[in-house]
Structure formats: structure tokens, C-alpha cells
Structure 1
Amino acid sequence: MKQAVVAAVAVAGMALVASCSSGSAGASDENGAAGANGSYGECEVFGAKGSVKLKPATAGELTVQTNLPSPGWWKGTSPTDITGGYEYCLAANIAHRAGLPKVNVQNVSFDALVAGQTKGYDMAMAQISVTPEREKVVTFSAPYFDSNLGVLAPADSDVTADNIRSKKIGVQVGTTSVDWAEKELKPSGAPHLFQDTTSMVTAVTSGLADVAVQDTAIMLGFAKNSGGSLKVVGQYETGQHYAAIYEKDSANAAAINDAIEAMRKDGTLDKLSAKWLGPELGGDPNAVPVWSMK
């Protein structure tokens, strides 16, 4: 899902700068919230320092691979200037709980990452959806973000969970929303297929489609750029998730999984979403109402 999210956010008008070459960063803490807990840029950390036991790939730091740029998820465009973002601050919280004062960011190819071809890291995060195909070649962590399908509609629309099946549904060719609309939602009329997200959203604006259904984070970006004319009115849980990737046979997998689950339970993941995704996307994905099939 990573590449689709970045492309859509770019179309939505969020300025992106091409990423620099791979490297590492331990962000400056002059104004960061981490304070004495470590050097984690603008990230606020929670939980007990040293409560997680890790054997990092490089002593004294948590090495994290990603694919840049990635607005909202990583604040900055190259490893040397990352200071915040949902995934970076999630890594910072793991580092804090492991007693590691630094997060080492490495920028790698997304395709190589999901193919299990990169080495020398503790965990990798790049809005990577867990799929059976990827599970054959990489090891996934416990999930840290639910990848739901958002319903984008005109702000003054009367679309609800009760009447959506009677509406003209727009979906993008090649996305999971096509099968979902045809097999799960089952609208009264065949879904309208569009070759790209922009034309799908334009169809909603023009009235060719009543709603567009796509990843909630993507739809929020387009709603933000619409000047108030569009709104993400609801979302459906799909059972899909973003998760980190570990190297095969990672000795740290169990400990990091426990840390992620602890952050889910203590509200840290919700705090990260509200702080980093809400402002960038124009709304917190977790705050969009969850609809059920009627």
C-alpha cells in the first residue's frame, strides 16, 4: 500500500522532495520531547525505559529501514533530517523501551524490502500491508496500524452505512477495493472502475460517482485538498494491517512484538496517529466512523 499512499498524498498537494541516498540518523534533541530518555527528535516517548530487552544489529541504537519520502509517517525527506512521523516515533518508542538512545534510519528500495533482500537492520516500516505473498519471503511483526477502506463523498452528501448500496460506487482498478465492493458491499449497480485515484475522486466531485472507496489515509488526503467540498464519511474494517518486517530468524522479533502490543494497549499507537497522521492528512484515520455492513 506504501506507494499508492505516497502518490495520492503528493496529488493532494503535499509538497515532497526527492529523498537523498541511504544513510543513518539520530535526530537532534534540542527541542524534542524525548529529553533525557534519548535523542529522538520531536518524538514523545512513553512507557518504562529499559523494559524491553533487545540485541540490536548495531550496539547502542535501533536500526530501522524505510522507503522515503513518506509524509505523516516520516517527517523529513532523507535519513539525516528525519525528526518525527508515526513510524519514526513508533521506532523511537521501541528504542526508548529498549534503553537505546538513538534510532538509525536507513533509506532502502521498497521492492527490495518486501522481497526480503535487505540486511543489517532490526526492523523495517514503510506502510507495508501484510499479504500471504509477502509472508512467504519476509517475517512480519505484530500489526501496528489498521488499513481500512474509507468512503469519500461530497461534504453535503446523504450517504450513510444504511443507503450506500444504492449509490454509485467508484473504485480504482487493481486495488483491493474492487473485490471488496463486488464481493462484500454488493451495491445495487456495478461499481464504476477508474484507472487512477485522481480520476476516481474527480468523478465524485462531478457527480459521475456518489462515493469513492479507497484506503482511508488516501481518501483523507484528497478530502483535505478539496477545500471542504469532500469528506470521508465512514470507513470499513478490512482486516488488513500495516506491520514491520524483521530479518528472517530475528532474535528480537518476540520482544518487539510485545512492545508493539503494549503500545496498542496503553494508547501509544493512538497518540501517534492523532499527532502525526491527523495534521498531515487533514484528519486522524482512527477518528473516522467505522461502518458495518447493513
Structure 2
Amino acid sequence: MASVLSATGLALVSVLASGVAAEANDIGDCILSGEVGSIKLQPVNEGVLTVETALPNPGWWNGDTPEQITTGFEYCLAANVAHRAGLKEIRLVIASFPAMIANVNPGKDMAMATISITAERQKVMQFTAPYFNSDIGILVKKGTAVDAAAMKTFRVGVLQGSTGAKYVADEVKPAELREYPENPAILAALMAGQIDAAVNDTAILLGLASKSNGALEVVGQYSTGETYGSILPKDSPNKEAIDQAIEDMRKDGTLDKMASTYLSDIWGADPTKVPYLKP
């Protein structure tokens, strides 16, 4: 299964169903539920669900390359949407987070990368129904003392274009704010001592901390009431159907089951136990 680079510089990879069970599609190693054909989609590429994301994002997309990914909360959410639409294949489109937020790629059905739904973003792009709640966390080297006062003296790294970047600039107001295009660049800066803390969604940071061999820890978070949703292309005909699939997964327990299966073990921590700070 080869990776293909498109003219826009986005990596395209088709993730084909490994087989077809008697009554369901098998996509990756996902937990699938619901009735095949219960929703109707008009995919941009016939017969497949094309999904844009940014890597790495452990727990949400388990693998560092598209070829490695067979599980993860958002991957399997997409798999369930495809399954319920009677599609047997997911095509992954890899982009940077800023490019995803710019929503410049019309060749997708959905874009998911733990993207927060905000009123500002809703003015210029269309989101699905929310599928996850998340606040904003603080990641530091293990042993770093952190409180509200210390954060104002810190050099803080954030993801360019993220809600965390805006929140830190407007509310926390640290001594220095540095923006990075990708999470690996933030981690490299933190490990090199170029920043004192990284701020991003608590759910994302717990996943990154769990893969640091104990070098990093999430020591606090800010309450923002954020929810994640999928960005849809402009004038997508699929919003109602995808929203229905998400709401059905909420009602039948699929979202909760995916969270406990794909997120809890990777995080190695309960996000509700991370203490809250005031900015």
C-alpha cells in the first residue's frame, strides 16, 4: 500500500478494509456498530470515505504514518461513519494542522485532528456535531513546579492556529509565547529547554506525555468547555447524515466504548484528575 503525494502536497493513503464479515465491514481493527446503510453519504471519491488529519496524535490515530494506523478514537469514528454508510474503505489525507484549520482542501469528506469547535471558526467553516469534550492542559518536564503565577513567567509553546494559542495569549499572558506548526516541534523545544511549558488540549498532551518515557507530565489544565468536531468541506451534502451517525454513536454507547478502549490506556491518566488552574 503505497503513499501518494498529491499536487497540493498532501499525502494520500487508502486504508482498505481487511475483509468483509457476514454482516459488517471490517475497517482496520476498529470496534464497529450500527446498521450498514443506515446513513447515506455522497463521498467526494466514489466508494470511499476520505478523511484529512494531522499526525502524530496518539490515542486518536494510533501510528506515526497512515500505513500503521488501524485504531484510534478518531480513526475508528471515521470507520464507523463509513461502516454505517456501507463504505468499505477509508482514504487518509495527511496535512498540517494550520492547513486543516484553513480548510483549503475540497477533496475530503471530513477533517479530524482533535479540532475544537469555536464560534469564530463556525463563522467560516462547517462542523459536525461534537463528539468529545476537552479542556486545555499544561505539559512540562517532570518535576517542574507550576502554578498560575509561574505560568506568567514562563516561555510557553503553543500550536499555531489552535484554540490553546488564543487562550494563552488572551488569558494566561506568559512572559513569552512561541507558536509552532506541529506538536513534534513543540515537544522538541520543550525537551531542549527552549520553552518552559507547552499548552494544548489536555487530551492531546496526556497522549504525548504517555510516550515520553516519564520525561514529561501534564501538571494542570484550564477550564474552557471545549468540544471536538469534524470540519466538513464548504457546502458539504453530508452534514446531516454524519451528525446522525455521531448522535447514534453517542446514544448507543459507541463513543464511550471507543474512549475507554483507545484513549484511557494510552493516556495512562484520568483527565478529570488533572488539577485546574485559573489563568
TM-score, normalisation: structure 2: 0.69
Instruction: Indicate if the aligned counterparts of 2:138 and 2:199 stay in contact, CA closer than 8 A.
Output: yes
Q: Which residues in structure 2 correspond to 1:74-153 (within 5 Å)?
A: 74-76=61-63, 82-98=69-85, 100-110=86-96, 113-131=100-118, 134-152=121-139
TM-superposed CA distance for 1:272, in Å, is: 2.3
The correspondence for 2:14, drawn from 24, 30, 37, is 24
Instruction: Indicate if the aligned counterparts of 1:148 and 1:236 stay in contact, CA closer than 8 A.
Output: yes
- Relative distance call for 1:54 and 1:284 in structure 2 (3 A) is farther
- Residues in 1 aligned to 2:144 and 2:100: alpha-carbon distance in whole angstroms: 41
Equivalent position SS for 2:262:
helix
Structure 1 residue 270 corresponds to structure 2 residue 260: no
Task: Identify the range of structure 1 (223-232 vs 89-98) with the bigger mean alpha-carbon deviation.
Answer: 223-232
Q: 2:268 maps to which residue?
A: 283
- Structure 2 residue ranges without an equivalent (≥5): 6-11, 181-185
- Residues in 2 aligned to 1:178 and 1:79: alpha-carbon distance in whole angstroms: 27
- Residues in 1 aligned to 2:145 and 2:26: alpha-carbon distance in whole angstroms: 48
Equivalent position SS for 1:231:
strand
- Residues in 2 aligned to 1:71 and 1:290: alpha-carbon distance in whole angstroms: 23
Structure 1 residue 65 corresponds to structure 2 residue 48: no
Equivalent position SS for 1:47:
coil
- Residue deviations 1:265-286, cap 9 Å, x none? 4432233233333444x43675
Structure 1 residue 244 corresponds to structure 2 residue 227: no
- Residues in 2 aligned to 1:176 and 1:123: alpha-carbon distance in whole angstroms: 20
Task: Identify the range of structure 1 (20-29 vs 255-264) with the bigger mean alpha-carbon deviation.
Answer: 20-29
- Relative distance call for 1:200 and 1:113 in structure 2 (3 A) is closer
The correspondence for 1:44, drawn from 31, 49, 53, is 31
The correspondence for 1:165, drawn from 148, 157, 162, is 148
Q: Which residues in structure 2 correspond to 1:184-263 (within 5 Å)?
A: 184=171, 191-193=174-176, 195=178, 197=186, 198-200=188-190, 213-228=199-214, 230-263=216-249
Letter of the 1:257 counterpart: D
Instruction: Indicate if the aligned counterparts of 2:51 and 2:78 stay in contact, CA closer than 8 A.
Output: no
- Structure 1 residue ranges without an equivalent (≥5): 1-17
**RMSD over aligned Cα, in angstroms?**
4.0
Q: 1:11 maps to which residue?
A: none
Q: Percent identity?
A: 40
- Residues in 2 aligned to 1:145 and 1:132: alpha-carbon distance in whole angstroms: 17
- Residues in 1 aligned to 2:255 and 2:133: alpha-carbon distance in whole angstroms: 11
- Relative distance call for 1:145 and 1:284 in structure 2 (3 A) is farther
- Residue deviations 1:2-23, cap 9 Å, x none? xxxxxxxxxxxxxxxx965324
Instruction: Indicate if the aligned counterparts of 1:46 and 1:268 stay in contact, CA closer than 8 A.
Output: yes
Number of aligned residues = 259
- Residues in 2 aligned to 1:226 and 1:237: alpha-carbon distance in whole angstroms: 25
TM-superposed CA distance for 1:87, in Å, is: 1.6
* Larger strand fraction of residues: 2
- Residues in 2 aligned to 1:76 and 1:155: alpha-carbon distance in whole angstroms: 25
Equivalent position SS for 1:126:
coil
